[in-house]
Chains A and B, each alone.
Chain A
Amino acid sequence: MGQRTSAAPKKGKKTLHGYQSEGLADWAGPLLQGTLTTLEIALAAYAIGILLGLMGALAKLGKVRVLAVIASAYSTIVRAVPELLLIIILFYAGTQALTALMNALGTDGRTEVSGFVAAIAVLAFVQGAYMTEVFRGAILAIPKGQLEAADAYGMTAFMKFRRITVPAMLPNALSGMSNLWLILIKDTALVSVVGFEELFFTAQQAAASTNKYFTFYAIAGVTYLMLTMASNAVFSKAEKLARHGQARS
């Protein structure tokens, strides 16, 4: 299953008093590690989700019917199914499909999927569906004339996208994007169900092995809160930057 080896502190098992001696200090390291892992997965999934979302939005708004239908199906289905279920389906089905594929290609045995990679892939896939809708709406909100001016001056499709569409839609997209980031940070907790050690999983382990449920779950909660508060600060800065051209109302 590609789980990492347990992050539980080894020190606790070696002492005469066993688990009784385990406390906050012993779990500080693993919890910090879990927090970092949570951030790593979230950042990577977010970046890939943005790419998927841009592709999805362009496909949905574009003239190629096949791509529009695929993008529509993607965003509709992924947004309709509970994320927890999707994560479980994609993780196990993904592992099975990959094993089957590798076997077909002549490799024996089970293919191990790295939990880290799987977590990122699954969360990015879910994010991409929501991003598709955020970007689609943001692009539709650009006054048509601004895009037409890009055409009228002979921009290629790619240059128009890069120089005009993306910067012009960003102010419209940022509030939706920041929502998705906050949801994503919390969704990382869902990948603990497939045994992946991020912040929530580590807190669970800590709580179970020390019996200090309240302490460790509270620590996890406060850590999520701090992450989201820091994110809010970053996003409000980004929004200010993206809106530099807009008159203050």
Chain B
Amino acid sequence: MSDSTHHSQFAENSQSCAPAVSVSNLHMSYGSFEVLKGIDAEAAEGSVTSIIGASGSGKSTFLRCMNLLEQPKEGRLEIAGETVEFAYSDKGRPVPVCKQVTRNLRTRVSMVFQQFNLWPHFTVLGNVTEVPIHIQGVSRKEAIERAEYYLEKVGMSDKRDQYPAYLSGGQQQRVAIARALATEPDVMLFDEPTSALDPELVGEVLNVIRSLAEDGRTMLLVTHEMRFAREVSNQILFLHQGQIEESGTPEDVFENPSSERCQQFLSSIIH
């Protein structure tokens, strides 16, 4: 009782603290291999959450569940105003989520991929206007204005008529970020956005992501860039074998990790 009172007071005090993403008891398996074993997490509106962990810990899978690229077997996901419950059918198979719900959700949760995944047959401008024009029904004129605004933001305006194949990895990733921004999403997902980049190109991408964090965008970020995660995040989730082993503010997780696994992971990664 006291708990709920506290919670409602909290909500009244600060509207922006209502969770933009809320996940409870999320389970996901590939065949019989259970990748996520009951994840509970929340991300406040306008906050940056970094998900860290060793490879195979399920962090990318967790992120991909957020826009239903992977479908969880069990649990509940609230994101961008959509609520999705995952359940088994009588035959023991997960009930597929309604396609319309999936598409609605995906138009408001945009993703930046490790391999950029720009569409090679469109120019930079074409990549950024594609979703607004053809999926969101924005007029061509407005979509181009949006695209120009966000390309400016990521510093790629001068390449607007270039094809992706002619750009460096860092430039492609910045265009991919502009593509994600141009859909004006409620939540942005970043799946190891700098892991495929040459070391000297990492900085330009991180700078763009940092400026988005400063704008107060709700972002979930899977990353191996620990220093960066610590610097921009409001919340860190450390995943180990499909479970959240440690979570809290960057100070909590990086300076006083309570779990032994997390201590080991951090000491192996931070030199």
Is A247's CB within 8 Å of the partner chain B?
yes
Residues of chain B whose beta carbon lies under 8 Å from any beta carbon of chain A: 67, 69, 99, 102-107, 110-111, 113, 115-123, 130-131, 134-135, 163-166, 183
List of B residues within 8 angstroms of A246 by Cβ? 120, 163, 165
List of A residues within 8 angstroms of B107 by Cβ? 153-154
Alpha-carbon distance between A167 and B115 when the two chains are bound, in angstroms: 20
Q: A153-B107, A245-B165, A246-B165 are in contact. Are A164 and B119 (CB under 8 A)?
A: yes
Per a CB cutoff under 8 Å, which of B110, B115, B134 touches A143? Answer: B115
Q: How far is the CB of A32 from chain B (nearest CB, A)?
A: 39
Q: List the B residue with the shortest CB-CB distance to A159.
A: B134
Alpha-carbon distance between A246 and B122 when the two chains are bound, in angstroms: 10
Contact, CB under 8 Å: A149 / B117: yes
Q: Count contacts between A and B, CB distance < 8 Å.
A: 73
Is A104's CB within 8 Å of the partner chain B?
no
Contact, CB under 8 Å: B121 / A167: yes
Contact, CB under 8 Å: A145 / B119: no
Per a CB cutoff under 8 Å, which of A152, A163, A168, A242 touches B106? Answer: A152
Q: How far is the CB of A125 from chain B (nearest CB, A)?
A: 30
Is A151's CB within 8 Å of the partner chain B?
yes
- Known pairs A154-B107, A154-B135, A242-B121. 11 more at Cβ < 8 A? A145-B116, A146-B117, A151-B106, A153-B131, A153-B135, A154-B103, A155-B134, A167-B121, A168-B119, A168-B120, A245-B121
Contact, CB under 8 Å: A151 / B69: yes
Q: A145-B115, A146-B120, A148-B69 are in contact. Are A245 and B164 (CB under 8 A)?
A: yes
Per a CB cutoff under 8 Å, which of A149, A155, A244, A247 touches B113? Answer: A149
Q: How far is the CB of B230 from chain A (nearest CB, A)?
A: 28
Alpha-carbon distance between A188 and B167 when the two chains are bound, in angstroms: 45
Per a CB cutoff under 8 Å, which of A143, A156, A163, A167 touches B103? Answer: A156
Q: List the A residue with the shortest CB-CB distance to B164.
A: A245
Alpha-carbon distance between A161 and B127 when the two chains are bound, in angstroms: 16
Contact, CB under 8 Å: B121 / A153: no
Which 9 pairs show the lowest CB-CB distances between chains A and B?
A154-B106, A145-B117, A247-B165, A149-B117, A245-B163, A154-B103, A167-B121, A154-B107, A245-B120
Q: Which residues 156-199 in A have Cβ within 8 Å of B in the complex?
A: 156, 159, 163-164, 167-168, 170
Q: List the A residue with the shortest CB-CB distance to B127.
A: A149
Interface residue count on the A side (C-beta < 8 Å):
23
Q: How far is the CB of A138 from chain B (nearest CB, A)?
A: 13
List of B residues within 8 angstroms of A244 by Cβ? 121, 163
Q: List the A residue with the shortest CB-CB distance to B116.
A: A145
What is the 8 Å Cβ interface bit string for chain A, positions 229-249, against chain B (1 contact, 0 not)?
000000000000010111100
List of A residues within 8 angstroms of B164 by Cβ? 245
Q: List the A residue with the shortest CB-CB distance to B132.
A: A153
Contact, CB under 8 Å: A148 / B117: yes
Contact, CB under 8 Å: A153 / B110: yes
Alpha-carbon distance between A146 and B119 when the two chains are bound, in angstroms: 6
- Supply 11 A–B pairs (Cβ within 8 Å), ascending by A: A145-B116, A148-B113, A151-B106, A152-B69, A152-B111, A153-B131, A154-B107, A156-B99, A156-B103, A168-B119, A242-B121
Per a CB cutoff under 8 Å, which of A151, A153, A168, A247 touches B166? Answer: A247
Q: How far is the CB of A219 from chain B (nearest CB, A)?
A: 42
Alpha-carbon distance between A244 and B103 when the two chains are bound, in angstroms: 30
List of A residues within 8 angstroms of B69 by Cβ? 148, 151-152
Contact, CB under 8 Å: A159 / B135: yes
Contact, CB under 8 Å: B183 / A153: yes
Alpha-carbon distance between A206 and B163 when the two chains are bound, in angstroms: 54
List of A residues within 8 angstroms of B122 by Cβ? 245
List of B residues within 8 angstroms of A145 by Cβ? 113, 115-117
